[in-house]
Every structure is written in C-alpha cells, then in structure tokens.
Amino acid sequence: MRTLPVNFLLLLSVWSVCVWADSGRIRQKRAWIIDSFSIEEEHPGPFPYKLGKIELDKSLVNFVLHGQGVDEDPKNILSITDTGEIRVHKKMDYEIDPKVLLLKFEAINKSNNEVTRLGLEIKILDINDHAPKFQKSVYEVTVDESHAQDKSVLTVLATDDDDSETNNGTFSFTIKSVTPKTDNVEFYIQQQKESGTIYFKGCLNYEKAQKYTVLVEAKDKGEKIQLSSTSTVIINILDNNNNLPEFSGKPGPEKVKEREAGVEVLRLQVTDKDVRGSKAWKAKYIIYGDKKEIFKIETDPVTNEGILTVVKPMDY
C-alpha cells in the first residue's frame, strides 16, 4: 500500500488524461501507474479475497475500474470497493491468462467534480504447477554394436509450461535406470537447454545385451516442490557378425549308392559364437568343385548344420 502526495497525484492525473485523449488506449507508461499488485495463479480462494487497497486523497470518490480483468478479457476477475479495496473473484492461470493485467482507475473529486484517471498494473505470479513433459513417452533407436563410445545415441526433448525464466520452469535430466545392467557399457545423458542426449562409455556387445531399456527423468528445480516425469528409451543393438563359424568335427568319407537321388549324405557341424538364431549366427554353406551339380547343401535352421544331399543320381 502506497500513499501518493496529492500534488504528485494531480500532476499525474492531468498528464494521464492527455494520454488517454491522445491515443485512446492504454500506454504502458510507468509514470501514470499509481499502484501495482500481484496475484498468485491458482489461488484457491475463498472468493472474493482482498488483494490490496489503493490509498487516495479523501476528496476522491466513486471509484471505478476498467480494462483487463474487469470489462476486458479475462473479464470479471477484479472489482473495487468504495474504500479502494481491490478484490479478486476468480482463479487466475499463469499459463493461459495474460502475465500482466493493465487497468484504468477512475475517481471523481467531490469538491470540483473533476475526473481523475490513473493506470493500475496487476502482475500474475507463476507457481510450480506443471511437471516437465517429454515429447514422447517412448523413444526407440537401433545402433550397431560397433557404435563408438561418446558418440550420440539418441536425443530426448522435454518442455515445462511454467515460467522458463524461473526454477519452476527449468529442469534437468537424469538416467534413473538401465535394464539389463551389463559391465561393458555405462550410459550417460548430457543436457542442452530442453534436450538431453544419451551417450555411453565402453563397448556395446550384442552377445551381452541385444536391447537396453533406459528410463530417463526430467525434474524441475522448483523451490517448494519439484515436479518430474519419465520417458523410456529403447536401444536396440544390431549384431555386427563379429564371430566366424568354425567347423566342429571332421566329416569322414561318405558312401552314396548309385542311382539314388534326394538322399541325405552327411551333416556338417559348425559353431558360431554370435547369438544363436541371429542373422550373424546363421551359417551359409557353398559347395565348390561340383560342376555337374550333383549335390546341394542347405542349412538346418535349428541346428545350423549343413545338410548335404544328392540331387542327381550318379552312375558308378
């Protein structure tokens, strides 16, 4: 609450009348703002509640308010009593409503019936009522197991609807968990404003994990309460076929009866250290030196064995 000296008030009022006449609309000039108040958003009430009081010379009466919060959007939020008390009738939302309400205050000097017009400014204060939100609840990426360490894997993005100039609207990322836990890699996240990039130290190894599920959290820095949310990042590892198949067990000479076709002659066994069933594990057999195309060889999809069969009957 501030009381302005009468002389000053008069001077201001004369000047402000000129401004109104001049432009016909509100000018954001501090000079003619008699008072400023602030409303905390999401105030629970009960309504109406007293916001403050404008202290004026006793000769002024018939107070009237016009402008934002009264007869301009957002309407019907504010009123003034005969004693100069400003009242709030509704909840304000910092994220939806204007951040500042600009109002005109009018009063009449009962001694000479002159109208005094002054400006009034009401600020809306943000509270921490929004958690940072990820752009996606699940992110997915596929990387080769030869992916270099300290090279970006994936970038997540989050936003917070609270005032980004304050701690209520700023947040930081952390990795909450990595599943499965393997000793060959360590994931970390680096933040750049509203984005977080995931990297790792170590070596990916398809044989250790074919997929990682990383839970990332974004938490704001609110002073009274902190709000947070999480997102899931799925990192699929691509097998790089880093193991060669090796023949295990030596096939000896086999006998085939002449004039017989479609019979299995022998099975070749191989071992491959790539993950069983994966593309990198699957063996492919090729026959050399069979110019007459008497034999064919196929891969058993389950055992990975090479099955050699006679396709053309041979004449002894």
Ligand X SMILES: *[C@@H]1O[C@H](CO)[C@@H](O)[C@H](O)[C@H]1NC(C)=O
For position 128 contacting ligand X by CB under 6 A, the verdict is yes
x/- string (CB under 6 A) for ligand X, residues 164-193? --x-x-------------------------
For position 127 contacting ligand X by CB under 6 A, the verdict is yes
User: Residue 38 to residues 1, 170, 226: CA-CA distances in angstroms?
Assistant: 12, 22, 23
For position 194 contacting ligand X by CB under 6 A, the verdict is no
Least distance to ligand X from the beta carbon of 89, Å? 22
Residue closer to ligand X, measured from CB, 203 or 225 = 225
Residue closer to ligand X, measured from CB, 164 or 213 = 164
For position 228 contacting ligand X by CB under 6 A, the verdict is no
Least distance to ligand X from the beta carbon of 73, Å? 23
Residue closer to ligand X, measured from CB, 55 or 298 = 55
Asked if residues 240 and 297 have their Cβ atoms less than 8 Å apart, the reply is: no
Q: Which of 244, 237, 176, 241 is nearest to 209 (CA)?
A: 237
Q: Give CA–CA dist 130/120, Å, rounded.
A: 29
Per CB under 6 A, the segment of 107-115, 138-146, 194-202, 284-292 that binds ligand X is 107-115
Q: Which of 267, 262, 266 is nearest to 310 (CA)?
A: 262
Least distance to ligand X from the beta carbon of 65, Å? 18
For position 41 contacting ligand X by CB under 6 A, the verdict is no
Rounded to the nearest 5 degrees, what angle is found at the Cα of 28, between the Cα atoms of 26 and 34?
90
| Among 4, 10, 65, 314, contact with ligand X (rule: CB under 6 A) | 10
For position 126 contacting ligand X by CB under 6 A, the verdict is yes
Asked if residues 290 and 314 have their Cβ atoms less than 8 Å apart, the reply is: no
Least distance to ligand X from the beta carbon of 184, Å? 43
For position 113 contacting ligand X by CB under 6 A, the verdict is no
Residue closer to ligand X, measured from CB, 60 or 214 = 60
Per CB under 6 A, the segment of 54-62, 147-155, 188-196, 202-210 that binds ligand X is 54-62
Point out which residues bind ligand X (CB under 6 A).
6, 9-10, 57, 59-60, 109, 111-112, 125-128, 163, 166, 168, 222-225
